[in-house]
Amino acid sequence: MLGNYRVRTDLAVESKEKFEKDNVEISGVVIHEDYDKERDLRTTVVKIETEHGARMMEKPMGTYITLEAPDMAVPDEGYHREISEKIAEHIRRLAGLNEEKSVLVAGLGNLQITPDALGPRAVQNLRITRHIIREYGVAGTGQEHAHQVSSIVPGVMAQTGMETLEILQGIVRETKPDVVIAIDALAARSTKRLNCTIQITDTGINPGSGVGNHRCSLNEKSLGVPVIGIGIPTVVDAATIVHDAMAHLLETLEEAEIEEFLSELITPSLSSMFVTPKDIDETIRRLSFTVSEGLNLAFEGCQQA
C-alpha cells in the first residue's frame, strides 16, 4: 500500500481490522475477542492456521495475543500490576512454563534512543537466576523449583557491527536455552494504540521493526528453539499521523483511493519520519517495568519437570 508511504503496522490485530472494514472473512484465520469492562482491557487472540491466512494477513503462521488497555498511559501502579499478571498468564502458556526450563530473555533495541529502549530497559528489571542455579542448584534461589533465567541486550548493528540474529545464534548455541523471549518496540498504524497496546506472539520478532528497519527474523527456524515475541508500539510514521488526522474525510473512500490520496499527500521528506509522544521517557520507564514484572511473575512457581 502507498508505495513508499505505506501506513505501517506490526500488530496482527490491525491487519485483522483492515479486513473487517472491507467485510472480508479470512480463511485460515481464527479470531477470539474478550473485553474486561471493569479493567477496560480488551484481549484479542488471532490464530493464523494456514499459509493462505498468513499471506492474507502478511504475518507468519502462529498465535498473536493483543492486550489493549488505554489506562496503561496512566501512572497507576495497581493497574499496571494487573496488566503484568495478564502478561504472565499468556507467557506461561505460550512458553510452556508449567515445568522447569532454561529461558533466555533478549532486550532488543537501542538504550540510547528512548522510544527504542523498551527491550533493554525491561531486561534491567528481571530476576536473573541461571548463574545461581548453575552454582548452587535450585535451592540457591530459595524455591523448590525454578526456571534458569538469563538475559542479553545485544544492541543494534550500528553499535556492534553484527546482526542481532548472529549474536543470539552464538548465545543459544553455547547456553542451550529451551525458549527465547524477545522484547522490542513496534510500530502501529493508529495513534490511539501508542504505548497502550501489548502484542505477545509465538512467531518470534523482527528487530528494528518499530522504525521500519527490519533485520533478520528471530524465530524457531533461525534460532532452533521456540521464540516468544513481546512488543509495544512506541512510534508511528508520518503516513499514520496524516491518516488519523484526516480519518473523518477518508471514511467514504475505498482502500485503493485512500492509498492513492496519501501517496500524493505525503512528501518524500516525511516518509522516513517517525513520531513518539513527548512524555516517552517516563512512559518507557513505566512500560518496561510492567513487561519485566509480567515476566518475573511468569517465571515464578513452576512445577517439577
pTM summary value: 0.85
Reading phi first (left if > 0) and then psi (alpha if -120 to 50, else beta), residue 40 is in: left
What confidence score (pLDDT) does residue 5 get? 46
Contacts of 282 (CB under 8 A, 6+ apart): 75
What confidence score (pLDDT) does residue 133 get? 94
Taking the C-alpha atoms of residue 169 and residue 217, their distance in angstroms, rounded to an integer, is 12
Closest by CA position to 296, among listed 74, 87, 30: 87
Q: What confidence tens digit (pLDDT) does each residue in 33-82 have?
A: 999 998 889 999 999 999 998 888 888 999 999 999 988 877 888 888 99
- Count Cβ atoms within 10 A of the Cβ of residue 66 and give its class: 0-12 exposed, 13-18 middle, 19 or more buried: buried
Give me 104's grid cell.
Answer: 533466555
With a cut of 70, which residues of the chain have pLDDT below it? 1-9, 15-25, 207-215, 243, 247-256, 258-259, 261-272, 301-305
What confidence score (pLDDT) does residue 56 get? 85
Which residue ranges form the domains of the chain, and what is each CATH number?
Answer: 3-298 (3.40.50.1450)
